[in-house]
Amino acid sequence: MGPGKVKKSLHKRQYGLIGAVLALATVAVATGPFTASAVAVPGRPDERGVKIATWNVDWLATPGEAQAYHLPDDIPHRTQHDWERLRHYASKLHADIVVLEEVGSAADVWALFNQGEWWLFMPRHTTGQNVAILVRRGVGLQPQQLGDVEALGRNPEGTHPLRPGVVVQVGGMAGGFTVLGVHLKAGCPGSVRTRSNKACAVLERQFRVLAQWALGQQAQGQGWVMAGDFNRRLAWGDPLLAPLAAGPLKLTTAGMASPCRQGERFIDHIILGGAMAGRLKPGSQRVMLYRDDPPGAAGGLSDHCPLSAKLLPAPAALAGLEATPP
């Protein structure tokens, strides 16, 4: 799609189209008309806040990795052009923090992102499909990787391990908070818990692990962000979400549907908790569609679209700015 691309607002639950504005190839998640900018925002996170994105890149792996890890035969077999298109869309995210899912290796990440511009954090024990967290350099953020949430990767009744959570403490000018990148068990997307469904039992256990982790953060007075592919159409009232709501919680996709999935509710989410629950910039949620490629030509990209949101600056950071002489 050319320079005159149209940015459309995300469908609400009733799947009605809200409006459209001219911009880059992103789609807004909003409850009404919105103003938005999809271009890189100048300034430091302490002045403008932090933009965080999550993107399941759909088995991002080279043929050699696919063979070494015995990955399924039906994963995307990408051409060089496909990799170049993925890199093109990665350059349009304009995020400060990016959580990726289904990454084969660090080399695959650097095929999409410029290594000199990012810190990269991956699980200590990698498999053929990993969570990765990128934090942008040079914007005042100070990341440090903490221990992985290994319990999310345990699958005692399955034939293969699942994906552990990746945890990064983000300090610096934006105010401190913790990011947990996740990719949870597939096979239980609905709102009704089915104990006879093995996938639902695993997913329920994983949500209990998330709740325990969140309680630990809360006990330390630490605000937190969970981002990734939850493989669950989360909504208020979902019994799996209830344990997380023991403290302040913001489900940024609540009541929204994804244009990337023909109006279905999201399975990718950004969840804010603790001191971060009140730091969502209203109306900042976005979904980037692959609008720069002709219809039907995006098959080698991903079956997920990047989801992003902006976090307001920490009150302490703003207070520091206001106290600084001009």
Domain boundaries, the chain: 6-38+47-323
State the pLDDT at residue 8. Answer: 33
State the pLDDT at residue 28. Answer: 46
Question: 294 falls in which pLDDT band (50, 70, 90)?
Answer: confident
pTM for the full predicted model: 0.85
Q: Where are the alpha helices (DSSP H) in the chain?
A: 45-48, 63-68, 80-91, 106-110, 198-219, 315-323
State the pLDDT at residue 3. Answer: 33
Of 29-33, 73-77, 228-232, 320-324, give the range with the top mean pLDDT: 228-232
Asked if residue 242 has pLDDT above 60, the reply is yes
Average pLDDT of the residues of the chain: 82
Q: Could you give the CA distance from residue 180 to residue 121 in angstroms, rounded to a whole number?
A: 11
**Looking at 26-30, 185-189, 251-255, 302-306, which range is the least confident one?**
26-30
State the pLDDT at residue 274. Answer: 94
**Looking at 40-54, 99-113, 149-163, 304-318, which range is the least confident one?**
40-54
Higher pLDDT pick, 41 / 166: 166
State the pLDDT at residue 155. Answer: 87
Higher pLDDT pick, 220 / 160: 220
Q: What average pLDDT does this structure show over 176-203?
A: 86
State the pLDDT at residue 46. Answer: 61
Asked if residue 324 has pLDDT above 50, the reply is no
State what percent of residues in the chain have pLDDT above 70.
Answer: 79
Please spell the DSSP secondary structure of 18-53, one letter per residue.
--EEE-SS-EE--SS------SPPPS-HHHH-EEEE
Higher pLDDT pick, 38 / 289: 289
State the pLDDT at residue 295. Answer: 72
Burial-class residue 305 by CB neighbours within 10 Å (0-12, 13-18, 19+): buried
State the pLDDT at residue 142. Answer: 94
State the pLDDT at residue 135. Answer: 98
∠ Cα 263 268 271 (to 5°)? 120
Q: Could you give the CA distance from residue 246 to residue 227 in angstroms, rounded to a whole number?
A: 18
CATH fourth-level superfamily of 6-38+47-323? Endonuclease/exonuclease/phosphatase (3.60.10.10)
Q: What's the distance, CA 267 to chain centroid?
A: 10
What is the SS3 string spanning 168-224? EEEEECCCCEEEEEEECCCCCCCCCCCCCCHHHHHHHHHHHHHHHHHHHHHHCCCCE
Asked if residue 113 has pLDDT above 80, the reply is yes
State the pLDDT at residue 14. Answer: 30
Look at the block and give the residue holding tokens 């804010």: 272
Condensed to tens digits (0 to 9), the pLDDT of residues 6-61 reads: 333 343 333 222 222 223 334 444 432 222 233 444 566 667 789 999 999 999 99
Asked if residue 307 has pLDDT above 60, the reply is yes
Question: 273 falls in which pLDDT band (50, 70, 90)?
Answer: very high
Asked if residue 283 has pLDDT above 50, the reply is yes
Burial-class residue 229 by CB neighbours within 10 Å (0-12, 13-18, 19+): buried
